[in-house]
Amino acid sequence: AQSVTQLDSQVPVFEEAPVELRCNYSSSVSVYLFWYVQYPNQGLQLLLKYLSGSTLVKGINGFEAEFNKSQTSFHLRKPSVHISDTAEYFCAVSDSGTYKYIFGTGTRLKVLA
């Protein structure tokens, strides 16, 4: 069965610094990868997704992620964070046999002034 690992439960970073949130998934023949963000008291919002094609995926709010099949990773990056990026970030995977998402435990990004 598919699984997703987000190694960092919390990531504090200063404003305007770069950030990388790590995500690893268990291997599968065909895999589809997603990053969702949850702002305080809100639902989950899609940041970006990888289905196929270019391994570098750009999403909303200046985020991007790179699919690395050999390392089974899909790390999320932003070159310069803002206070408003403070939120919980969830990596998720689905495979060709199902439409459901398997989520990681989430990473709480805290941007400091």
Partner 1 sequence: EPEVTQTPSHQVTQMGQEVILRCVPISNHLYFYWYRQILGQKVEFLVSFYNNEISEKSEIFDDQFSVERPDGSNFTLKIRSTKLEDSAMYFCASSERPSVGTEAFFGQGTRLTVV
CB of 87 to partner 1, least distance (A): 14
Question: Does position 24 bind partner 1 by CB under 8 A?
Answer: no
Q: Which stretch binds partner 1 (CB under 8 A): 20-28, 65-73, 74-82, 86-94?
A: 86-94
Question: Does position 108 bind partner 1 by CB under 8 A?
Answer: no
CB of 23 to partner 1, least distance (A): 13
**Considering only residues 27, 42, 54, 70, which one is a binding residue for partner 1 as defined by CB under 8 A?**
42
Question: Does position 94 bind partner 1 by CB under 8 A?
Answer: yes
Going by C-alpha positions, the residue among 99, 109, 95, 100 that lies closest to residue 47 is: 109
Tell me the C-alpha to C-alpha distance, in Å, between residue 41 and each of 49, 87, 93, 102.
23, 10, 24, 22
Give CA–CA dist 102/93, Å, rounded: 5
Question: Does position 102 bind partner 1 by CB under 8 A?
Answer: yes
Give CA–CA dist 97/82, Å, rounded: 38
Going by C-alpha positions, the residue among 14, 42, 20 that lies closest to residue 110 is: 14
Binding site for partner 1 (CB under 8 A): 32, 36, 41-46, 49, 51, 90, 92, 94-96, 98-106
